[in-house]
Amino acid sequence: MNKSLGLCNTRVDNESTGAASVALEPISQAPAAPGRLKLLRASIMLLLTVMAGCAVGPDYRQPKVETPKTFSSEDSAYAAELPVAQFWNVFDDATLNALESYALRTNHDLRIALANLNQARALRRESQFDQLPTLGAQAAHSKARISADQSSDGRPVSSELNTGSFDAFWELDLFGRVRRNVEASRASEEAVAADLHALQVSVAAEVARNYFELRGAQEQFAVARRNAENQTQTLHIAQARLDAGRGTEFDTARAQVLLNNTLSTLPALQAAIENTIHRLSVLAGEQPNALSAMLTPVAALPELPRLVQIGSPADLLRRRPDVRAAERRLAAATATIGVAEADWFPRVSFTGEIGFATSDIKRAGDAPAATYAYGPSIQWAALDFGHVKARIDQTKASQQGAAAAYEQTVLRALEETENALVSYRETRHQLDYLGASARASNRATELAHKRYVGGATDFLDVLDSERSQLVVEASLSRARTAAATDLIGLYKALGGGWENAGQSARK
C-alpha cells in the first residue's frame, strides 16, 4: 500500500499478525485445483501483509526529557549510587521490617489497587480477543398452532421447529482499529500497574514515617518523664531548704510550677503514641489496637545512614512509578487517536453460520435439514463524517492533555526530590547543632545544682537551667524524629520501594 496516501504506517504488530494468521487458517476444505490453491494462499498472504502493515493514527514515541546530570542540592551526605529499593532495610530495625512486609501484603488500599490492575488486565485480554473470530452456538425448539380461523382449509394447524447452528464473526482489521485498541488497552494496563507501584511506595513510606513518629513520641515522653523526675528532686531540695529556714516559699512555688508544666506535656505525648499505633495497625489492614502489644514496648529511634544513595535525575525519571504511569497514559491516548481515525474507512467483517432447521430432531444431521449462510459485510460512516471528525478531535485533545500531564509529572518529580534533599540536609545540620546544645545544657544543669547546694548561686539559676535543658532535649528529640521522617520523604521522592515488596498481581 502506498504510504503517501497516509492510510497506514509500516510498523508491524507481531501479535496482531499471529492472530490474523490463526483466524485465516482454513479448518477444512475440499480438494482444490493446484492453481486455485496457489491463488488462495497468495490472497491470504496478501491480506496478512496488508493487515500487519496498515494501522492508521500516529505511532507512539516516548517523549525525550532533558534532565540535569546531578541534583542541585547534593552534598557530602549523598552518594551517586542507585538508591535502595526496599529503603526501610537500611535502618536495620526488625520491627520496622516486619511492619513493612505485613502492610505491603494486607493493606486495603493496595488490595483495591490490585483489583483495579486485574480489571485492567482483563480488559486488555478482552481487546486482544477482538483480533480473532468470535465463535458462538445456538439452539432452539418451538411449537406453533394456527387456529381454524387462520388456516386456509378451516382446520387448526400445528407445527414444530428445531434449529441449531454454529456462527462466527470476524472483523478484518484492515486499517488497524482493533490493533490500536489493543495497544491502548495494553498501555492503560501498564499505567494501572505503575499506579499500584506508586501506591506501594506511598504505603511503605507511610508505614516508616508513622513508625519513626511513634518512636520519636516515645522518646519525647521519656525525656519529659526524666526531666519531671529531676524537677521533682529539685522541688524536694527547695522544700527541704524551706523547712530548714534557708529557702523561700517563692523558690518552692516556682519549682512546683516548672514540674507541673513538664507533667502537662505527658498526656498529649501519650495520646500521640496511641494514635500512631492505631494508624500503623490500620495501615497493616488490622483493627486499630491489633498491633498494640507489638508496638507499645519502647524502642529507640533507628540510627540514620551516614550516606544516602540518590542516583541521578535521569535515573529518577526511569524509576518513579508516577512518571511511568503518566507516560503510559500518554501512550494509551496516542493509540486511541488511531482507533478514532479508523472510522474514516470502511469496517469490513465476515460472518458465517452453519446449522440445521427441521421439524424432526432425529433428522438434524440429514442433508435436507442443513442450513448455512456466509459472506462479508461493510459498515462505513460515509454520510456521518462530522461525528467521526468530532471523535478524532476529542482523542487528539485528550492526547495533548496527557502530554501536558506527563511533562508536569516529570517537573513535580524533580521538584519533590530537590525539596526532599534540601529538607533532609538542613535537618541533619539542625540535629548537629541541637546535639551540641543538649550536651552543654546537661552540663550547665549539673553545675547549677552544685553551685546552688554550695550556696554559690540562687535557686533561679537552677530553675532556668532545668527549663533550658527540657526545651533543648525536647527539641533534639523532635529534630531526630524530623530527620528520620525527612529521610523517608526523600526515599519516597526517589521512587524506590516497590520491587519485591511482597504485593503481587495475578496475570
Instruction: Report pLDDT for 22.
Output: 30
End-to-end CA distance of the chain: give it in Å, rounded. Answer: 38
Instruction: Report pLDDT for 13.
Output: 38
- Write down the residue that cell numbers 502530554 correspond to: 403
- Write the CATH number of the domain with boundaries 133-172+346-379: 2.20.200.10
Torsion of Cα atoms, 229 then 270 then 209 then 425, to 10°:
-40
Where do the structural domains in the chain lie, given as residue ranges? 133-172+346-379
Q: How far apart are CA 239 and CA 236, in angstroms?
A: 5
CB distance 78 to 427 below 8 Å: no
Instruction: Report pLDDT for 371.
Output: 87
C-alpha cell at 203: 504505603
* CA triple 178-181-186, angle to 5 deg: 125
Q: How far apart are CA 118 and CA 126, in angstroms?
A: 12
Helices 321-341/177-243 angle, 10° precision:
160
C-alpha cell at 430: 539542625
**In the beta sheet, which residues pair with residue 321?**
none
Instruction: Report pLDDT for 43.
Output: 54
Q: Report which DSSP code applies to 90.
A: G
Nearest one of 315, 109, 77, 80 to 205, comparing CA atoms: 109
Positive/negative CA dihedral, 282, 288, 293, 298: positive
The full length of the chain comes to 507
CB distance 85 to 204 below 8 Å: no
- What are φ and ψ of residue 286, in 5° steps? -120, 175
pLDDT mean for each 10 residues of the chain (507 residues): 39 35 33 53 53 75 88 80 88 94 93 94 90 87 81 78 86 88 94 94 95 95 88 84 81 88 93 96 95 94 89 90 95 95 90 85 78 88 89 95 95 94 92 89 84 74 78 88 94 75 42
Instruction: Report pLDDT for 216.
Output: 94
Instruction: Report pLDDT for 411.
Output: 94
Full-model pTM:
0.78
Q: How far apart are CA 97 and CA 100, in angstroms?
A: 5
Nearest one of 419, 415, 431 to 482, comparing CA atoms: 431
